[in-house]
Chain A
Amino acid sequence: MRTIAWLLALILILGFLPIVTHDVTLRETVFLILMYVALAESLNVILGYTGYVSFGHIVFYGIGGYVAFVLIENYGTNIVLAMLLAGAFSAFVAYVLGLAILRLRGAYFAIATIGINEAVKALVTNLNQLGGAEGIYFNMNVYRPYGGAENAIWFAYYLMLAVTVAVVLVNWKVKRSKFGLGLMAIREDEDASLTLGVNTSMYKTIAFAISAFFPGMVGALFFFKNGNIDPESAFHLTKSIEMIFMVMLGGFGTVSGPVIGAMVYERIRGLLLVSFKALHIAISGVILLLIVLFVPRGIVGFLRERVPVLRRYFE
């Protein structure tokens, strides 16, 4: 209860800062932070609770982005509906893929997800209807129903805040449910869970669909705000690695871990981009290695172990 209270307070305060100050630069920064938080929390459901390393998870962000983009550009769909449909479609794709690839375990599953991301990227690059490698650009008219581009961007920002709050709430609900207990049992020992009565294939597939639903919506919002979409930025494997980094840094399998990981990473990334430019991923990689070796449970796991008093605040 305490965990979710302060997490939501933190996100809402952060989220309302740009609205109150009407600061556009701050809005861009917070949009990015919220996006990272939402992506990391989504991945947490399959990686953190269920223990399946979805390495190419960004594919669902890209799919959601394209679905929403096409709906808005070609059919004039409202962004709220487009976003929900994008999330639903990503979740559906994850469900179908999950039935096949969640039979794989460990590294084999991780490699399969990378393969899927690359395959979808190659497919989209070769589909002229989706703009091919060049991608597609919005006709500026699409922003008209929202009162112009500037207002549309603000609207996308509010929606991102709502999506972030929703994904944190879902993480908290899952963690404290029987469903979540089943997922964590799968993470710890899938064979044992199966003989204990957990319908492992159904649980894993639903978890995978949930963890794809939110990136689909995030992708829809990001590319709506961006105004153009292309395969290279939609299915960017580096973003996938960043998602894993944030979850591991903050502490996998906890509600607060990925939130903290995302916020800290956004700061680290900013610093590294300024001082090292192209090296920021390499340095992040080294940090990830150090985390896995020395603090495998991340910041939150470390705090929970060292300062038991804080456990109620860091679930």
Chain B
Amino acid sequence: MILEVEGLTKRFGGLVAVDGVSFEVRRGEILGIIGPNGAGKTTLFNLISGVYKPDEGRIVFDGEDITGKPPYKIARLGLARTYQVVKPLNELTVRENVMVGACFGREYLDLDSARRVADEVLRMVGLMEKAELPAGKLNVPEKKRLEMARALASKPKLVLLDEVLAGLNPAEVKGMLKVIEDVRKRGITILMIEHLMHAIMRVSDRIIVLDYGKKIAEGKPEEVANDPKVVEAYLGDPSLVLR
């Protein structure tokens, strides 16, 4: 197990955004997280990456209890993430953006080594031609790739992808799925939130479903898609999903 989450709970005033969620992520797998809007998916990511401190529960990453640790320490242990609303460092170049990931990530590299890693990762996600541009000048699909590149440059063991496919056209989705497959081939475990059903059903080994902060289902994509609770909460007609 690379990640164990036990009874995780986060409240915002009267709202329980994440409610006693437990699950495990196996080394090397792609675990998808789905759920209607407001189900608590991004909050769950914010808890795991240390942005929020949980009110209850425990998070163990690679054998180490990371509950309540600051985000930068968690990042250095090898847990990287992307943001649903992209956060490029606009005035820095694309290469410098990726270097930040490499410099302060798991390997904590010096500038020269970080530059080499950055170029390698930029080639992998197909942003090498834009390396010298300020990140603010990229379009949305490119910014999504940049988020991905920055996370990968930190040489993570586990990467949390928050809707990296949202807002992309079908060709771009294809390209990004290829990148995701490449990442997995490198032995990096992936935990991903996605709204694009056909895509997440295809790439995930297992899927968990959140609704109103609670985990309502877990299993292989086809099992989840046919689970009556999931259908009721979210999917509507299962035949649409498995088309």
Contacts and interface: CB of A to CB of B under 8 A. Distances in A.
Interface string B93-114: 0001001110111001011001
Contacts of B99: 181
A197 interface: yes
Contacts, number: 75
Nearest to B45: A195
Contact of A178 (B70, B80, B83, B110): B110
B75 A184 contact: no
B72 A197 contact: yes
Interface pairs A-B: 8 shortest CB-CB:
A197-B104, A188-B89, A197-B75, A192-B87, A194-B71, A185-B100, A195-B71, A189-B87
A195 B100 contact: no
Contacts of B96: 181, 184
A195 B75 contact: yes
A188 B91 contact: yes
Contacts of A196: 72, 75, 80, 100-101, 104-105, 150, 154
Contacts of A191: 51, 87
A208 B133 CA distance: 29
Given A178-B110, A197-B72, A200-B72, A192 B105 contact: no
Contacts of B110: 178
Interface in B45-100: 49-51, 70-72, 75-76, 80-81, 83, 87-92, 96, 99-100
* A: contact size bracket: 20 to 34
A177 interface: yes
Interface in B103-139: 103-105, 108, 110-111, 114
Given A181-B99, A185-B89, A196-B104, 11 more contacts: A178-B103, A178-B114, A181-B100, A188-B91, A191-B51, A191-B87, A192-B89, A196-B72, A196-B75, A197-B75, A197-B154
Contacts of A176: 111
Contacts of B114: 178
A219 interface: no
A159 B59 CA distance: 55
A191 B81 CA distance: 12
A228 interface: no
A261 interface: no
A125 interface: no
B111 A188 contact: no
Interface string A163-207: 000000000000011100110110111011111111110000000
Contacts of B100: 181-182, 185, 193, 196, 198
Nearest to A202: B72
A70 B72 CA distance: 42
Nearest to A180: B111
A163 B114 CA distance: 33
B49 A195 contact: yes
Contacts of A182: 100, 103-104
Interface string A133-176: 00000000000000000000000000000000000000000001
